[in-house]
Amino acid sequence: MYYQIINKSCIDVIKVNFIHEKVDLTFLDPPFNQQKDYAFHNDNMNEQEYWEMMKKVCQYTNEITNKGGAIYFMQREKNTEFVLKVLRETGWVFQNLIIWKKKTSAVPVANKYGKHFQIIVYATKGEKVKTFHRLRINPELPASYKIQRENGVFVTDVWDDIRELTSGYFAGNEAIRAENGDRFHKQQTPLALLLRIILTSSKIGNTIFDPFAGTGTTLVVAHQLQRNAIGIEIDPNNANCIKERLQNIREADLIQKYYKDYICTENLSEIWGDEFEVQTKNTTQLPFCIPTTKSPYTTAGENVYSQPPDTITNRMAQAMGNC
C-alpha cells in the first residue's frame, strides 16, 4: 500500500503527465469559483476559463483511470449542467446524479428557495462498471413507521444522513483547527462522505485519486481502508496538513466508528478490510513532492511517512470498542 502527496498545481501535473499509475476511483471536489480567498488559487476566473480547466482535469483523469473505474464530481447545484457536459465531452459515462442533502440549515436566497444540497455526479469510464458495492444502511425510522427494518435499506442517490462540517459547533472535533481555534480549512470534506464513496466504488488494493486534495480527507480514508491514494494539492500549508494527518492519525479521523452504520451490508468485512489493522505494514514511501527548481508550490526534500502499525491498531481497536 502507498500514498503520495503531490504539492503542485493540478494543471502543472497534467502538463508533465507526472502520474504514471492507473487509478480506479477519483473524487473531484475543486474550488467552485466563488471568489473565495485562496492563497495559491484564483477563485474568480472567467467562467469559460474555469470550465476549460475542469475539462482538462476530467480528460486527464479519464486517461489515467482503469476501464470501468469511477469518478465522483462534486459541485454547486447551479453548475449541474456544466458538470454533466464536461464529463460527457471527456469520455465519462453518466451513472447517477447524487443529491447530498446536508444536515444543516438551508442557505437563504432572495426570491428563490433556500439552498440545502450539493450535487455529486457519479460517472464511469465505459458503460461497464468495474466496482459497485451496494451498501446498506439503517437510518432512523420515519415517524409514521412502526415496524423496525430487519436488514436496513440500500443507499440511494439521495444522501441525507451525512452532516457537513459547518463553521460552528456542529463541525465537532473532526474539523481541523489552528492554534487560535479558527478552522484551518473551511471547506473540509467530512470523513463520512468519502467513506461512502470509497466503500462503494473501490476494492482493497485499488488506487484512489484526488486532484484537489485540500486537507487530505480522501487520502486519510483511503489509507485506513487499505487503498492506495494519490493527492494533488497546490497549497504547501494544506500539503503539510495532509502529511501530518497521515503521519499522526487523530482520534477524530479514525473511521472505525462508522463501521456499525454499514453493518447490514453483505460482505462488509471484505469491502472494508481488516477492521483492526491499518495498512501501514508494507506501505511504500513515495515522494512528498514533485522536485522542481523554481516552483513556489513545492516543498523539497521530504518524504511521506507511514505511522507504525501498533499505534494506529490500538487506537482503532479502542474506537471499535466504543461503537
pLDDT in tens, the chain (323 residues): 899 999 999 999 999 988 989 999 999 999 877 667 777 777 677 889 999 999 999 999 999 999 999 999 999 999 999 999 999 999 999 999 999 998 776 778 888 898 889 999 999 999 999 999 999 999 888 888 888 888 999 999 999 999 887 655 555 677 777 766 666 666 788 999 999 999 999 999 999 999 999 999 999 999 999 999 999 999 998 899 899 999 999 899 999 999 999 999 999 999 999 753 443 334 443 433 333 223 333 332 233 323 333 333 344 344 334 33
Contacts (Cβ under 8 Å, ≥6 apart) of 265: 133, 134, 135, 136, 152, 271
Q: Is residue 144 part of a domain?
A: no
- Pairing relationship of beta strands 284-285 and 93-101 according to DSSP bridges: unpaired
**Residue of 11, 30, 42, 108 whose CA lies nearest to 75:** 30
Q: How far apart are CA 318 and CA 106, in angstroms?
A: 36
- Domain of 210 in residue numbering reads as 2-139+150-321
Which residue(s) pair with 92 in the sheet?
Answer: none
Which residue(s) pair with 97 in the sheet?
Answer: 121
Q: What is the pTM of this model?
A: 0.84
Question: Hunting for cell 489515467 — which residue is that?
Answer: 64
pLDDT of residue 159: 96
Q: Is residue 182 part of a domain?
A: yes
Q: Are 83 and 50 in contact (CB under 8 A)?
A: no
Q: Is residue 145 part of a domain?
A: no
Q: Are 138 and 152 in contact (CB under 8 A)?
A: yes
Total domains in the fold of the chain: 1
First vs last C-alpha separation in the chain: 27
Torsion of CA 91, 195, 156, 137, to 10 degrees: 160
The cell for 168 is 460552528
The cell for 62 is 479519464
Question: Hunting for cell 506501505 — which residue is that?
Answer: 283
Contacts (Cβ under 8 Å, ≥6 apart) of 245: 176, 215, 216, 219, 220, 253
Which residue(s) pair with 229 in the sheet?
Answer: 3, 208
pLDDT of residue 177: 72
DSSP SS3 for 264:
coil
pLDDT of residue 276: 37
Q: Is residue 232 part of a domain?
A: yes
Q: Is residue 24 part of a domain?
A: yes
Q: Is residue 287 part of a domain?
A: yes
Indicate which CATH number applies to the domain containing 274. 3.40.50.150
Q: Are 300 and 289 in contact (CB under 8 A)?
A: yes
**Residue of 167, 229, 258, 210 whose CA lies nearest to 10:** 210
Amino acid at 167: S
Q: What are phi and psi of 41, to 5 degrees?
A: -150, 135
pLDDT of residue 182: 63
Q: Is residue 192 part of a domain?
A: yes
Q: Is residue 101 part of a domain?
A: yes
